[in-house]
Amino acid sequence: MSKPKPDLKSWQELSPYLDQALEMDDVERAAWLASIREQNPELAQGLETLLDDYRVLQEESFLEQSSLTLPVYPTMAGQTIGAYKLIEPIGQGGMGSVWLAERSDGRSNVGRR
């Protein structure tokens, strides 16, 4: 990936234009970019790069999965569920956590969700 990273200085120059661009639909934006290009091709180029990136990140759903939760682990240790006593968490899945558990009656350890 050889794409140059946006430096903060050029970002600050482009930022107010980006505000305008994000309020436009595609047709409006194309005409607007064309008129900027006549006056200042470098500026238009910078904006186009950012707007292309915008399309890509929308397709990727970039940063859209945001719900970070704090599940209860340590407080569960030592609790008994049915015949099992929870010892420690050994993994985490999308729907719950996997625990190392032991049977209260002394049989072998099993994973339990």
Partner 1 sequence: MDSSFPTLITAAERGDSGAAEALFAALYSELHRLAKRELGRHGFAATLTATTLLHEAYLDMAGRNGASFPDRARFMTYAARVMRGLIIDHARNRQAQKRGGQFEITSMGVEVPENAVDHREMTRLSDALDDLARVEPDLAEIVDLKFFCGFSFAEIAAMRGVSERTVQRLWDKARIYLHGSIGADLSM
For partner 1, the binding residues (CB under 8 A) are 1, 3, 5-6, 8, 11-12, 15, 18-19, 22-23, 50, 53-54, 56-57, 60, 62-63, 65-76, 79, 81, 88-89, 92-95
**Burial (CB count <10 Å: 0-12, 13-18, 19+), residue 2:** exposed
**Is 14:43 a contact under the CB 8 Å cutoff?**
yes
Residues 6 or more apart in contact with residue 76 via CB below 8 angstroms: 86, 89, 99
CB of residue 111 to partner 1, shortest distance in Å: 15
Q: Which is nearer to partner 1, 38 or 104 (CB)?
A: 104
Least Å distance between CB 97 and partner 1? 8
